[in-house]
Chains A and B, each alone.
Chain A
Amino acid sequence: MGIISAAGNNLAANRNSLMLGKSGIASAEFLSTKYASLLPFGEVKISTQELKEKLKAQEPGVTRTSLLALHAFEEAIKDSGLTNAELNSSDTALIGADTVGGMCLTDELYHDANKHEQGSEYISSYDCGSVNMYLQSRYHIKGIGNTINTACSSSANAIMYGARLIQHGFAKRAIVGGCDSLAKFTINGFNALRILSDEPCRPFDANRKGLNLGEGGAFLVLEKEENTANRHVYAQLTGYCNSNDAYHPSSLSENGDGPYLAMKGALEVANISSDKIDFINAHGTGTENNDEVESKAMIRLFEKPPLFASSKANTGHTLGGAGAIEAIYSILSIYNGEVYPEINFSDPIPNVGLMPVSKYQKMDLRHVMSNSFGFGGNCSSLIFSKA
């Protein structure tokens, strides 16, 4: 596994922040937007230039989104012990996900889309596909390559797609994950929808004011159980489901049909009953709509929901990166036998009354669910289990 987020630049740093309940949300240092000092962000604390030097990625046209993906990818490959031969083998798939791609370069894109003079070096780097295509070319990955965009659930679906490719024999192993960087585009989009909080976000709190945008990336290496003899195994992916809420382009239905069906479907794939889930890494963005609907959907499915928390108050909402980042957090919980507290929470939402985990605690976890819900009604849930 490899990860970079506002909560830390690698796996160990992320776990440390989670254990200490440390938030990576602050005013932005590197981001250029007029909101940089007005709103808090979950910014990765390395400049784009530093990332380029550190990763030896000086090719023209490489964007911050691709650099964050590359950073997480390299850590994942190193951590997994995949050999170069395995990485380059035609049965290794690379499935990524992102929602802004190179659009983090808002001003360059404005120029290239509107002007008739010479294009910038980023002319081929604006689309979502550019991020994973850069990794495919850089590492000569010959297996199936794909990029998924289902808004905020994108990388949960990348994990699911990679797992299914292995299941169906289209790949022997799959490197799966996702990434997004902070962009004027998404900041202004979410701001226009009036769902950005001017304070650090407070998922599931009665007085929540909206979400904080974040950035980051995460990759995981998946292999079939029978091929893991000499591998270090963190956990098993046992359940997954993608369902659509089919209610509104940018908000969830009151009953939370999409979230409910995604969680229920994942239990069916895992073939376990709802009482077997020990912990949920909730989508919990901190918006009025999401947290209430997600709570209701959890109550609808579990009656008495298991322990849960949202890590968005640690990282901000990393959009296309969120599903993979939170998959890794779920796996860290199982692997280390611990649950991480939700920070900034004080009062439960009155009509649902659910309280997220507030203290770090050691406990044995067998099954952890990770939720990711996005615009366009795109809801996905994953279940990770103890290996």
Chain B
Amino acid sequence: MFYFHHISCISPQKTFADIDIENINSPAGDKLLVAEPVYEEIPLGILRRMGKAVRIGVGTALKIVKHNPDGIVIGTSNGGMEDCIKFLNQIIEYDEGMLTPTNFVQSTTNAVAAQIGLLTSNKGYNCTHVHRGLAFENAMMDVDMLLKENSSHNYLLGGVDEISAYNYNIELLGGWYKKEKITGTDLYDQHSEGSIAGEGAAMFLANNNDKNAIARLQAVRIFHSEDENLIADELKKFISENFLEEESLLFFSGENGDIRFQKYYSACEEVINKDYTVAHFKHITGEYPSVSAIAVWLSCYILKEQKLPEHFLKYPSTKKDFSKILIYNNYKGIQHSFILISKK
């Protein structure tokens, strides 16, 4: 598919400046909140009006967008949820009185891509994919097609979602968060329902140029199903189509500690070659719809550094030199994706 050149990430971990994915932050309660940097590149007057999703999305993008992309493609399930509910609360509390439009304008799901376009005067292709747990995967497929249509172009690709007090409440009422206190990898040992809330933004500069690339997106597949056997069969197909039998591969599992979804991850582990190293990542990112963007960022970083800190490992392993990372993620047991990232 295409190559990742510049990458940038704001997450609950030290991923933006002075990157350190060895010493990790544990959740505060059942939330893993982003560690926000000082946004030097966003004009203060504009920054003040931005909600968190827009802020972290734009902040992550501005670090790499100087390379003047030909378009901007973002995956986000909710965009600026905080502004959205702020505006909604005004509607109810002021009984549809005269309201200020700022929160409304900021709340539209396309506000991240729009603000990046606006701040960088980018008049190219601009699209926001919002298909919940597959929003970022669709953004990647969009960029793949764009680069087949315009082989010399560069695109900014990103995924972003926030935890606001409001979507946290909605998800909590929905039973998606654990009641136990979680520290680090004990997320996976509770045998209970729910996970921990997460948020973050990851951005990539993508093109067809292999020279000086960090990594390559080799393949993406997405599925809408509740049948773990179908997912296992599709994984078999994916592995054979991409000739993954002999490779030194890292299987990056999106398991999130929710016992209801373990059957999908277990079914996939049954399918893969027993020599593959198995790792997981949601203890450092939490669970949210566009979390696969951070999984791709982590994969690029791990392939570049050839270092996999031990806390990621699901089973003990001493293997270090991975040539490919296969991410399997599912969102709420119905939206599934396979993403294959290779060193070159």
Interface residues of A (CB under 8 A from B): 33-35, 99, 103, 106-107, 109-110, 112-116, 118-119, 123-124, 126-130, 132-133, 136-137, 141-142, 144-151, 157, 161, 164-165, 167-168, 170, 184-185, 187-189, 191-193, 242-250, 257-258, 261, 374-378
Contact = CB atoms under 8 A, between A and B. Distances in A.
Contact of A189 (B101, B122, B223): B101
Interface stretch (B134-142, B262-270, B311-319): B134-142
Contacts of B118: 246-249, 376-377
Contact of B166 (A99, A113, A129, A189): A113
A258 B123 contact: yes
B92 interface: yes
Given A110-B89, A124-B174, A150-B126, 14 more contacts: A110-B92, A127-B77, A133-B224, A146-B129, A146-B134, A147-B131, A149-B108, A170-B145, A242-B126, A243-B124, A244-B126, A246-B118, A376-B113, A378-B126
- Find the residue from B88, B99, B122, B174 having the highest chain A CB count within 10 A: B88
27 contacts: A34-B95, A35-B96, A118-B173, A119-B170, A127-B77, A127-B130, A127-B132, A133-B132, A136-B224, A147-B131, A161-B142, A164-B149, A165-B141, A170-B141, A188-B104, A189-B101, A192-B98, A193-B105, A243-B126, A244-B72, A244-B125, A244-B126, A249-B105, A250-B101, A374-B110, A375-B110, A377-B117
Give the bracket for the number of chain B residues in contact with chain A: 35 or more
Contact of A249 (B91, B115, B124): B115
Contacts of B223: 142
A245 B123 contact: yes
B173 A147 contact: no
A146 B138 contact: yes
A115 B85 CA distance: 13
Contacts of B138: 144, 146
A130 B129 CA distance: 13
A376 B109 CA distance: 10
A9 B242 CA distance: 47
Contact of B91 (A133, A157, A185, A376): A185
A378 B114 contact: yes
Contacts of A250: 101, 105
B62 to A, nearest CB: 15
Given A129-B135, A243-B124, A376 B130 contact: no
Contacts of A103: 84, 88
A373 to B, nearest CB: 12
Contact of B129 (A148, A245, A258): A148
B273 interface: no
A53 to B, nearest CB: 27
Contacts of B113: 150, 376
B127 A33 contact: no
A246 B122 contact: yes
A167 B149 CA distance: 10
B240 interface: no
Contacts of B104: 188-189, 192-193
A99 B108 CA distance: 8
